[in-house]
Amino acid sequence: MNPTERSLHWNAAYASKGDEGVSWFEAKPQVSLDLIAAVHDRSKPSASLVDIGGGASRLVDALTEDGWRVTVVDLSETALDTGRRRLGARATDVDWIAADVTRWRPSTTFDIWHDRAAYHFLTDPDDRQAYAQCMRTALRPGAHAVIGTFAPDGPERCSGLPVMRYDATGLATAVGSGFRPISERRHLHVTPWGSTQAFQFVVLRRDDS
């Protein structure tokens, strides 16, 4: 899929199912919040985070309540509209960016890059390379990335699309040089209809200068 086709696909998915009807829905993204908290530099009065593919995610709700400066990047305008409507007046405190991460050019740097369930849709090596380059640009040395994908025993397809599956070592290796893995967590996500999906999370630190 090219970026336009991807955007159309995800707009249709959210329009037809709603944000609570997709398999990856979480009422509270507790694993992501725990991993973010573990690397949060609390000496910073207002830390910054970019959430990749998080247009409709509840992560932004919890982080903005805690004083984070959040940027949400999603290729689906429908998903972004869902997040904006849910936050109401607080939506103006968030930067909402409609973009494909493989084409996005960050204009600032962040303390944390978060991605739950976007990276595993990148089945083309060129797209994965573009993603890694974008992440390097977006994170200053010493900053962290929290990435979650389907684990090796997770689904082979999602929302009608093939996915890549990773263990912790494979995911850290796929991202490439300049990032050091510092922790990992396996998670069994329960879908809205009660089935389980195995996820693998890794936390990486950008070590290159």
> pLDDT digits over 143-156, tens only?
999 999 999 999 99
Residue 141 has pLDDT above 70, yes or no: yes
Whole-angstrom CA distances from 72 to 110, 149, 174, 208, 209 are: 12, 18, 23, 25, 25
How confident is the model over 152-162, as a mean pLDDT?
A: 95
Q: Which two tokens stand for residue 169?
A: 């070592």
For residue 204, the model assigns a pLDDT of 97
CA 29, distance to chain mean position in Å, is 11
The model's confidence at residue 1, banded by pLDDT at 50, 70 and 90, is confident
Query: Model confidence over 73-118: pLDDT tens digits?
Result: 999 999 999 999 999 999 999 999 999 999 999 999 999 999 999 9
Residue 13 has pLDDT above 90, yes or no: no
Class of domain 3-16+27-206: alpha beta
CB 99 within 8 A of CB 72: no
Cα–Cα–Cα angle for 152, 124, 33, rounded to 5 degrees: 50
